[in-house]
Amino acid sequence: MELSLNNSWIIGLIVNTILIIFAFIAPKKLLTVNGYLNAWILGVIVWGTLSWQGYTVVMFYFLVGSAVTKIGMAKKEAAGIAEKRSGMRGPENVWGSALIATFCALGTLFFDASWTQLLLLGYVASFSTKLSDTTASEVGKAYGKRTFLITTLKPVSPGTEGAISLEGTLAGIIASGVIAVVGYGVGLVNLMGIFYCILAAFIATNVESLIGATLQENLDWMTNEIVNIINTFIGSIVAILLAWLIMNAMSV
């Protein structure tokens, strides 16, 4: 195969290498060193498979998700419920957030057009789900006036595994919609896809809270990163199933 600058993989290598160089020399760090190296791998894969459109979505998630983590940081640090490393992400965070999206992106190389559209929806839905989860958690910890355990609806302290709040839930719904609109804006999903992403993110985020309240503290292997993978998998699958079911119902 003849290589040229029109090749998405070559462009992905160039763009991500330039960005990681700037990231390493920038005084403000959003990722650890290993986090940046793994983000470089992720970025190359995304650009190579989904070009700038897919890259726009993952970068939007990364930048907004990092910013959301900083909300009310002083308050959360004082309460001992802030993200570790003051919100800096490591490789485990990169793949916990983006592994399912990466599988969706790579899947587009092997399936026909109809399945590719579903995989693109799954890609956007996975990031809608993760941004919804991150936003709901961080806003809830910082600004939630009343926080309840999802299994019993009894009041609990902010930051408790499985805790939900009205403020966090609403913020999460908005966040999932915003990134879904970005996916629509770059042509990865259609208008109905925005609805699928929002609904799937809402379902998956609440399932994630149920997992946190019932299983996470009882299973040593179920780390936050594993829960994030499960969360984004559910969001992606729910969106794909919704689209597939409605598409088939309309074709009958």
Q: Per the domain annotation, does 46 fall within a domain? A: yes
Q: Per the domain annotation, does 127 fall within a domain? A: yes
Domain count, the chain: 1
The Cα 68–Cα 87 span in angstroms is 9
Instruction: Supply φ then ψ for residue 156, to 5 degrees.
Output: -135, 170
Q: Per the domain annotation, does 3 fall within a domain? A: no
Q: Per the domain annotation, does 86 fall within a domain? A: yes
Tokens of 6: 């029109």
Is the overall model pTM greater than 0.85, yes or no?
Answer: yes
List, in order, residues 6 or more apart from 42 with CB less than 8 Å away.
58, 94, 95, 98, 102
Tell me, rounded to whole angstroms, the distance of Cα 242 from its chain centroid.
Answer: 19
What confidence category does residue 74 fall into, taking pLDDT thresholds of 50, 70 and 90?
Answer: low
Contact 29, 88 (CB under 8 A): yes
Tokens of 193: 């896809």
Q: Whats the size of the chain, residue-wise?
A: 252
Domain that holds residue 213: 8-251
Residue percentage of the chain with pLDDT more than 90: 62
Q: Per the domain annotation, does 1 fall within a domain? A: no
Q: Per the domain annotation, does 102 fall within a domain? A: yes
Q: What is the pLDDT of residues 82-137, one digit of tens each?
A: 555 555 778 999 999 999 999 999 999 998 888 999 999 999 999 999 999 999 99
Q: Per the domain annotation, does 2 fall within a domain? A: no
Contact 188, 120 (CB under 8 A): yes
